[in-house]
């Protein structure tokens, strides 16, 4: 029981939200129930129903500011933090990060459009992807969005477009630095065996190819080593590797002016997680880049990084309502909730762990109950918690799962034709809808019954 209690009582790190399990505005109301952003979670569910995604504005802004501040401190005047919108892409998120002065990383036409609609300036958007479509590449070029070249296919099409438009195009390239780090293998991207980016051994061939184009100007390099990383060591090594790439590029006449080190900083999902702070992470990277550039007598390039999870994850919670109980004597008690793998596919995909509490009894007082929390989908593996201790609870009670701001909504599905939950923004006791709840009818919108089948019936 101690574990459940401590994550609400722990001292909150307001400067680096990724080091907390709960949003920084989490509190307990006079009624002993859970509040976030000054709002009673119970009241929000009465009004907006469940399941419900909730984002806390103060936590979001505090995370954005932590990156800005740290970059200014350790790499003054020459940096840009870029929000990796794959973590949670919406018009609201695009607008928020842009209002905090961040850029945005997009990987599809959908994410690009969302960024532009949210007001992100074109020149602050970077466009990634290992298989961009012709349409997407042309869209990015026409809109002056920075394209990160991932492979030769990207390069050929950018060459063709720049010739067609008779226009110089500044490009960045992504390469795999060959750095190993400890994270789930699906979310590790910087090692040699990765579908992303150019192998480091291929770079000289690539530099020569770019030199032979008429309009492509290589201005930046990018590497991303993985996600949910707690170690600082891999990022310490990145500076020297990148400086060496800059030196090699120079031999082919390319002046690298931008260096993008990707994202990857982990967050605290459970008591066992101890990620470094945003300040420590930025300091490690900035120091390693400065040191390597000094050593090799290079001008300091503009430093960019692309945090996703550590901007939005801790700001997010998901509220579920408890439905059925099933006790299997001597084995376990299943408690089923009204959502699951369609709104949070991470447990079934990566065996991810989360923390949770009862909204009506956040400290789980008087409890000794162990539950398995199951989702409502037709899939045995649809289990959000294999085992969790909760206070006495019953059908109709609410459960709050913490740390769901990143890669939940953005990876959600309509499996079993389950509509996506609504998403709210909370701040200073006010709640606003940022994403409407889908309805089962919405899900029929794209179904088509060919005429001859209609006639048959
Ligand atoms: N930049 C690039 C090029 C990336 O590929 C990623 C994440 C990021 C930045 C942001 O990384 P972050 O700061 O969020 O760690 N679906 C997985 C995570 C996949 C991450 C993919 N790339 C999950 O739910 O854990």
The answer to whether the beta carbons of residues 150 and 196 sit under 8 Å apart is yes
d(CA 169, CA 444): 43
Cα distances (Å, whole numbers) of residue 450 to 24, 276, 442, 443, 455: 52, 56, 19, 18, 9
Q: Which domain holds residue 318?
A: 3-56+314-444
Quote the mean pLDDT of the chain: 94
Assess whether 393 carries a catalytic annotation: no
Question: Looking at the structure, do residues 210 and 347 belong to the same domain, yes or no?
Answer: no
Cβ(154) – ligand 1 distance below 6 Å? no
Question: Looking at the structure, do residues 73 and 182 belong to the same domain, yes or no?
Answer: yes
d(CA 148, CA 432): 35
CATH of the domain at 345: 2.40.37.10
The residue to mutate among 282, 306, 343, having the most atoms of ligand 1 within 8 angstroms of its beta carbon, is 306
Cβ(308) – ligand 1 distance below 6 Å? yes
Confidence of residue 11 (pLDDT cuts 50, 70, 90): confident
Query: Does 2 score more than 50 pLDDT?
Result: no
Q: What is the DSSP string of 267-294?
A: ---STT--PPPHHHHHHHHHHHHHHHHH
Question: Looking at the structure, do residues 108 and 194 belong to the same domain, yes or no?
Answer: yes
Residue that is last in its domain, among 259, 277, 312: 312
Q: Provide the total of helices (H) and of strands (E) in the chain, helices listed first.
A: 13, 21
Q: Which of 64, 293, 378, 393 is catalytic?
A: 378
On whether residue 449 sits in a domain, the answer given is no
Q: How many CB atoms lie within 10 A of CB 391?
A: 19
Q: Is 443 helix (H, G, I), strand (E, B) or coil?
A: helix
CATH of the domain at 304: 3.20.20.10
The answer to whether the beta carbons of residues 86 and 102 sit under 8 Å apart is no
Query: Does 53 score more than 80 pLDDT?
Result: yes
d(CA 285, CA 281): 6
Residue that is last in its domain, among 290, 312, 334: 312
Q: What is the mean pLDDT of residues 257-272?
A: 97
**Cα dihedral 427, 429, 431, 432 sign:** negative
On whether residue 164 sits in a domain, the answer given is yes
**Across-strand partners of 317?**
54, 402
Least confident of 38-42, 53-57, 193-197, 341-345: 193-197
Query: Does 124 score more than 90 pLDDT?
Result: yes
d(CA 94, CA 369): 41
Question: Looking at the structure, do residues 35 and 79 belong to the same domain, yes or no?
Answer: no
- Name residues whose C-beta falls within 8 Å of residue 13's C-beta, 6 or more positions apart in sequence: 19, 20, 277
Cβ(306) – ligand 1 distance below 6 Å? yes
Question: Looking at the structure, do residues 434 and 381 belong to the same domain, yes or no?
Answer: yes
Tens-digit pLDDT profile for residues 15-29: 999 999 999 999 999
Q: Is 187 helix (H, G, I), strand (E, B) or coil?
A: helix
Question: Looking at the structure, do residues 335 and 405 belong to the same domain, yes or no?
Answer: yes
Q: Is 456 exposed, middle or buried (0-12, 13-18, 19+ CB in 10 A)?
A: exposed
Query: Which residue's C-alpha comes closest to atom 23 of ligand 1?
Result: 407
Reading the block at residue 127, the tokens are 């466009």
- How far, in Å, is the centroid of ligand 1 from the Cα of 310? 10
Cβ(307) – ligand 1 distance below 6 Å? yes
Confidence of residue 455 (pLDDT cuts 50, 70, 90): confident
Helix (H) or strand (E) holding 175: strand 169-176
Question: Looking at the structure, do residues 246 and 302 belong to the same domain, yes or no?
Answer: yes
What is the atom index within ligand 1 of the atom nearest the CA of 174? 3
d(CA 457, CA 453): 7
Query: Does 3 score more than 60 pLDDT?
Result: no
On whether residue 456 sits in a domain, the answer given is no
Its pTM surpasses 0.85: yes
- How far, in Å, is the centroid of ligand 1 from the Cα of 135? 24
Confidence of residue 456 (pLDDT cuts 50, 70, 90): low
Question: Looking at the structure, do residues 431 and 363 belong to the same domain, yes or no?
Answer: yes
Domains of the chain: total: 2
Residue that is last in its domain, among 312, 347, 380: 312
The residue to mutate among 16, 67, 84, having the most atoms of ligand 1 within 8 angstroms of its beta carbon, is 84
Residue 363 confidence (pLDDT): 82
Confidence of residue 5 (pLDDT cuts 50, 70, 90): low
Tens-digit pLDDT profile for residues 392-446: 999 999 999 999 999 999 999 999 999 999 999 999 999 999 999 999 999 999 9
Tens-digit pLDDT profile for residues 196-226: 999 999 999 999 999 999 999 999 999 999 9
Query: Does 247 score more than 60 pLDDT?
Result: yes
Tens-digit pLDDT profile for residues 284-328: 999 999 999 999 999 999 999 999 999 999 999 999 999 999 999
């Amino acid at each position: 029981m101690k574990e459940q209690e401590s994550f609400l009582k722990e001292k909150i790190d307001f400067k680096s939200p990724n080091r907390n399990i709960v949003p920084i505005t989490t509190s307990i109301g006079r009624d002993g129930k859970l509040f976030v952003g000054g709002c009673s979670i119970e009241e929000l569910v009465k009004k907006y129903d469940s399941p419900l995604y909730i984002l806390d504005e103060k936590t979001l802004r505090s995370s954005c500011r932590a990156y800005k501040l740290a970059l200014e401190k350790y790499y003054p005047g020459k940096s840009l933090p870029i929000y990796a919108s794959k973590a949670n892409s919406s018009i609201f998120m695009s607008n928020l990060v842009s209002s905090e002065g961040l850029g945005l990383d997009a990987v599809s036409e959908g994410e690009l459009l969302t960024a532009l609609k949210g007001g992100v300036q074109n020149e602050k958007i970077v466009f990634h992807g290992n298989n961009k479509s012709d349409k997407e590449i042309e869209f990015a070029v026409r809109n002056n969005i920075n394209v990160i070249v991932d492979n030769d296919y990207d390069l050929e099409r950018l060459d063709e477009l720049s010739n067609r438009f008779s226009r110089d195009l500044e490009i960045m390239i992504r390469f795999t630095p060959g750095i190993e780090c400890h994270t789930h293998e699906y979310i590790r991207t910087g090692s040699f065996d990765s579908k992303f980016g150019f192998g480091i051994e291929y770079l000289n061939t690539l530099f020569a190819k770019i030199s032979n184009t008429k309009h492509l100007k290589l201005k930046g390099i990018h590497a991303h080593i993985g996600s949910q990383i707690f170690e600082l060591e891999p990022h310490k090594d990145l500076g020297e590797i990148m400086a060496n790439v800059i030196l090699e590029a120079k031999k082919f006449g390319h002046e690298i002016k931008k260096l993008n080190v990707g994202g990857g900083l982990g967050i605290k999902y459970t008591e066992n997680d101890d990620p470094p702070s945003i300040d420590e992470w930025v300091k490690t990277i900035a120091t390693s880049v400065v040191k390597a550039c000094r050593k090799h007598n290079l001008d300091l390039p503009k430093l960019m990084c692309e945090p996703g999870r550590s901007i939005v994850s801790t700001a997010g919670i998901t509220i579920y309502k408890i439905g059925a109980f099933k006790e299997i004597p001597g084995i376990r008690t299943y408690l089923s909730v009204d959502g699951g793998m369609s709104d949070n596919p991470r447990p079934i995909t990566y065996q991810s762990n989360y923390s949770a509490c009862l909204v009506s009894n956040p400290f789980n007082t008087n409890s000794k109950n162990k539950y398995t929390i199951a989702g409502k989908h037709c899939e045995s593996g649809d289990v959000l918690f294999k085992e969790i201790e909760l206070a006495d609870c019953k059908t109709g009670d609410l459960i709050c799962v913490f740390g769901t701001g990143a890669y939940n909504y953005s990876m959600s599905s309509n499996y079993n034709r389950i509509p996506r939950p609504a998403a709210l923004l909370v701040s200073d006791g006010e709640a606003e809808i940022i994403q409407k709840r889908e309805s089962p009818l919405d899900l029929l919108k794209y179904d088509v019954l060919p005429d001859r089948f209609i006639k048959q019936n």
